[in-house]
Amino acid sequence: MCIELFSLRDKVALVTGAGKGLGRSMATALAESGAHVVVVSRTLPDVESTAKEIQDNGVKSIPLAADVTQKEDVIRMVEKILREFQTIDILVNNVGTFMGGPFLDFSEEDWRKMLEINLTSTYLCSKVVGKHMVERQRGKIINVSSALGIFGAAGSSAYCVSKGGVIQLTKALAVEWAKYNINVNSIAPYSMETEKTQAMLKDEKVKNAIISKIPLKRIGQPEDLSGVVVFLASKASDYITGQVLCVDGGFSAQ
């Protein structure tokens, strides 16, 4: 009976940035729990490969190429999904990247780019998908932020600000849309091993320095997000909104 609370059977999920890394892994977890999953990135072959893997779970999966920092792309993407499935029950705003450097050397162009990729993408997708969820009076939105949206870190000002913005957007929308039965929550990872971080983590010195800050003494793996994303997408979390769940091996508990 309890396990049924976590079932996503017949739900439709949209995961942005699902061509690789955490997005791909979360999309797979949602599919394994029964959801049909639309997977999006700018690189079609990547999301085609994710979709193929997901279809092995007996659910539908559509790969779409879109740049979610562009309003027209987001509108086109959502129209396409609604034509195909008539609904979007779950939105995972996962797109994001890291660009860093000393604040005084960090260009205005890169500052704007970081805010656009990490925060504006979440704003745009929440707005366009949220309109549909408000009409239907239900939905689950899960925003991938970061422990660095809560804590400061040297050489990471634009990243910290953009992810802090994602967390505040999560809380503000949770309050604004509670009356529509829409839950808005955030997952905040710390250091995770993905294509993006693999090169950096190959340097044993860097890796050990990161691990020394993590009570559970290991770098996170993409699968560490599976249970959390399914929980936040499912009925099991219906009374939870506006929360930030740190999946960080205990980093934020110190």
Ligand X SMILES: NC(=O)c1ccc[n+]([C@@H]2O[C@H](COP(=O)([O-])OP(=O)(O)OC[C@H]3O[C@@H](n4cnc5c(N)ncnc54)[C@H](OP(=O)(O)O)[C@@H]3O)[C@@H](O)[C@H]2O)c1
Q: With CB under 6 A as the contact rule, which of the stretches 51-59, 174-182, 191-199, 230-238 interacts with ligand X?
A: 191-199
Question: Would you count residue 117 as binding ligand X (CB under 6 A)?
Answer: yes
Least separation in angstroms between residue 179's CB and ligand X is 28
Distance CA 243, CA 250 (A): 17
Question: Would you count residue 78 as binding ligand X (CB under 6 A)?
Answer: no
Residues 24-43 that bind ligand X (CB under 6 A): 40-43
190 is catalytic: no
Least separation in angstroms between residue 145's CB and ligand X is 7
> Measured from the CB atom, is 19 or 164 closer to ligand X?
19
Which among 180, 178, 179 is positioned nearest to 170, based on CA atoms? Answer: 178
Q: Which of 13, 17, 91, 183 binds ligand X (CB under 6 A)?
A: 17
Residue 21 corresponds to which tokens in the numbers above?
A: 């890394």
Q: Which of 14, 133, 141, 144 binds ligand X (CB under 6 A)?
A: 144
Question: Would you count residue 186 as binding ligand X (CB under 6 A)?
Answer: no
Q: Which of 8, 15, 20, 59 binds ligand X (CB under 6 A)?
A: 20
Please, are residues 186 and 166 in contact by the beta-carbon 8 Å criterion? yes
* Beta strands per DSSP E along the chain: 12-16, 36-41, 61-65, 90-93, 139-144, 182-189, 244-247
Question: Would you count residue 74 as binding ligand X (CB under 6 A)?
Answer: no
Exposed e or buried b for every residue in 104-117, given b needs 16+ CB within 10 A? eebeeeebebbbeb
Cα angle at 127 between 30 and 73, to 5 degrees? 80
Q: How many residues does this entry show for the chain?
A: 254
- From the list 123, 159, 180, 239, the catalytic residue is 159
Question: Would you count residue 223 as binding ligand X (CB under 6 A)?
Answer: no
> Measured from the CB atom, is 5 or 216 closer to ligand X?
216
Least separation in angstroms between residue 149's CB and ligand X is 8
Q: With CB under 6 A as the contact rule, which of the stretches 5-13, 93-101, 129-137, 170-178 interacts with ligand X?
A: 93-101
Q: Which of 8, 14, 21, 77 binds ligand X (CB under 6 A)?
A: 21
Long-range contacts formed by 169-178: CB under 8 A, 24+ apart: 169/119, 169/122, 169/123, 169/126, 169/143, 170/141, 170/143, 170/145, 170/242, 170/244, 171/242, 173/126, 173/130, 173/141, 174/241, 174/242, 174/243, 175/242, 177/130, 177/133, 177/134, 178/241
Interaction site with ligand X (CB under 6 A): 16-17, 19-23, 40-43, 46, 66-69, 94-97, 117, 121, 144, 146, 189, 191-192, 194-197
Active-site residue set: 159
